[in-house]
Structures are given as structure tokens and as C-alpha cells.
A = this chain, B = another copy of it.
Amino acid sequence: MDINDKNYNLSVEIDKIHLRNPTMLASGILGISQSIFERLYKENVGAVVTKSISVNPMKGYPNPTVISIGGGSYLNAVGLSNPGVDAFSKELSKNKKIPIMISLVGSSEKEFSRMVKVFDSLSILGYEINLSCPHVSKMGMEVGDDPEAVNKIVKTVRMNTTKPISVKVGVGSIDVVELARVAIDAGANIITAINTLRAMTIDIETMMPILSNRVGGLSGTAIKPIGVRCVYEISKNIKAPVIGCGGVSSWQDIIEYMMAGASAVQIGSVLGSNGPKIFNRITKDLKNYVEKKGMKNISEIVGIAHKY
């Protein structure tokens, strides 16, 4: 890469993936439109992850599906609504320069192999397998909580692609480090941690759960210390790059995740209050940080907290 590239000292390597900077768009956030991906790229995002895609289109749950609970935290139960593999491969068909990871969700090996076969000819970085959506039955976390299913699905995806595979883990009812180990042993290259945590909120005036699905996933500020802990524990115990995710809203949060062991960091909910321009602001702030500290490259800090 050109040493004059203004992002040079922010560039990171995650397995075989090279990114101009460590920021990524988290899955499910603005994640269904190539035009939006192009806009985010202009705003300096390092890479984008798509909404989790399933074999068939899914309408998701009725609204309310996304609610702000204050303090920069959110609950969502969108129900993995997505246009399905065929419509979505058309959406991305003209992609050339945007670094895209496709998030996959499904309930059987067959579904995953079908999707990878369709997507693999596109110009994409690789895949993120969503094993951690906490609010859709027979998909996401219900798969992620079953090590045998994880093993089979990751192996299936591995057989169908040479591109890097990340497995997205969450706080479910199996230890996050164990889950990561199963995924890496089955052939995944990267771990993304974490997804939302199962949560709910009840409106006390009407006495009713607010989300139509009643239970959803907690994201945003509230989960940051849990995400940092998971990244720290995974990177301490598993030999694979980790992508951090959960509650990031500033460059300081990115640095904290990287010090805990993340090679790159995804940003989700905070787009709500800040819009796509947050990537531009945060990458500028990161550049300032790296320059002020006199680092050659930001990845010098990856996992540095493990020293202490």
C-alpha cells in the first residue's frame, strides 16, 4: 500500500483481509443497499458487513422492531428481515471497490452451502456467519448454542469458499470462548464478538412488552464492557484474529477494543444518533491518536492490555 495514503497508519490485517482502517459497519445496520455501502465508503468506513442474509426473503417481525431505551442503548427484534440470497446477490452484483463481508444466517448446512455458492463469485471480502442472533428461533443463537451444529455449518461454508470466514458469537448459553474454539477448529478464520444480548422492556402504562416479538437483543453503550470482556477472553485463549463489536460510539471505544485484542471493530447502534458521518469523524480521531502517540501503525496496540 502506498505510504502516502492518508490512512496508511490506520491500516489493519485480519487474516487475509487488508483494511484501510479498523472501522467496520456492523451487520444489520443500514445493511441492505449497495448505494448506502458506497456512501459509507466515502465516509471512510474500513469495511461493511451486510444485513444477515438467509436463503429465502424474510419479512421479519411486525414493528416495533427497534427501540431506543436511552443512554445510547437499543433493543431490537427485527426478526432477521432480509431480501434473501437471490435478490441480494443482484444488489451486490455491480460491486467493485467496496470492501464487503456478507453476513449469513440459516438453520441447515444446505442453506449455507446454497448461499455461499451464489455469493462466492461476487467481489466481496468474505463471510460473517451469524450464530448469535438472540431472537429468531431455529436460527442465529439457537444454532450458536449447539456446538455440533456450529461445527457442521462452519465446515460446510469452509468447503464452499476459499475466502475468509468470520463466525459471529454472542453471549448465549454456551461459553463464548468455547464457541469460538469450535468455530476456529471447524475452519473459520476470524471471530466477531459480540452480537446483542437477549433482553426486553415492558411499557408500564399499557403493561405490555414493547417489541412485537416481546424479547429482543440489547445493543449500544450498555453492552460495551461485555463486548470488551469477550474480545479479551477470546483473544487470550484462541489463536485467531478477533473483530470487536458492541457499544462503540467513539474512537476511545475502538482503542479499548483493540487493546483488548480486536484487530478491527464494528460499529452499529450509534449510527442512529450520529449518522454515517461518524466513520469519517472516528477515523480522523484515530489518525490523530496514532500520530500523537508516534505509532507506525495502529495495530501495534492490538491485544496490548494482555501484557498487564
- B-contacting residues of A (Cβ < 8 Å)? 69, 71-73, 75, 145, 171, 173-176, 178, 197-202, 204, 207-209, 214-215, 218, 221-223, 225-226, 228-229, 232-233, 252, 255-256, 259-260, 301, 304-305, 307-308
Contacts and interface: CB of A to CB of B under 8 A. Distances in A.
Across the A-B interface, the 8 shortest Cβ-Cβ residue pairs: A199-B225, A222-B222, A173-B175, A200-B229, A208-B308, A204-B255, A202-B305, A199-B226
Nearest to A71: B71
A277 to B, nearest CB: 23
B175 A207 contact: no
A232 B223 CA distance: 20
Given A208-B305, A209-B308, A222-B225, 7 more contacts: A145-B175, A173-B174, A198-B229, A199-B225, A200-B228, A200-B229, A222-B223
Contacts of A174: 173
Given A204-B252, A259-B204, A260-B202, A225 B308 contact: no
B259 A202 contact: yes
A69 B175 CA distance: 25
Given A305-B209, A308-B209, A69 B204 contact: no
Q: Max chain B CB contacts within 10 Å: which of A171, A225, A260, A307?
A: A225
A171 B228 CA distance: 16
Contacts of A229: 198-200, 215
Nearest to A178: B173
A250 to B, nearest CB: 10
A231 to B, nearest CB: 9
Contacts of A72: 71
Given A209-B308, A308-B208, A201 B73 contact: no
Interface centre among A173, A233, A307, A308 (most CB of B within 10 A): A173
A102 B221 CA distance: 34
Nearest to A69: B225
A198 B308 CA distance: 19
Contacts of A232: 200, 202, 209, 214-215
Nearest to A174: B173
Contacts of A307: 207
A260 B71 contact: no
Contacts of A176: 173
A232 to B, nearest CB: 6
Given A173-B175, A175-B173, A305-B202, A226 B197 contact: yes
A200 B306 CA distance: 12
Contacts of A256: 201-202, 204
Contacts of A214: 232
A233 to B, nearest CB: 8
B200 A171 contact: no
A246 to B, nearest CB: 10
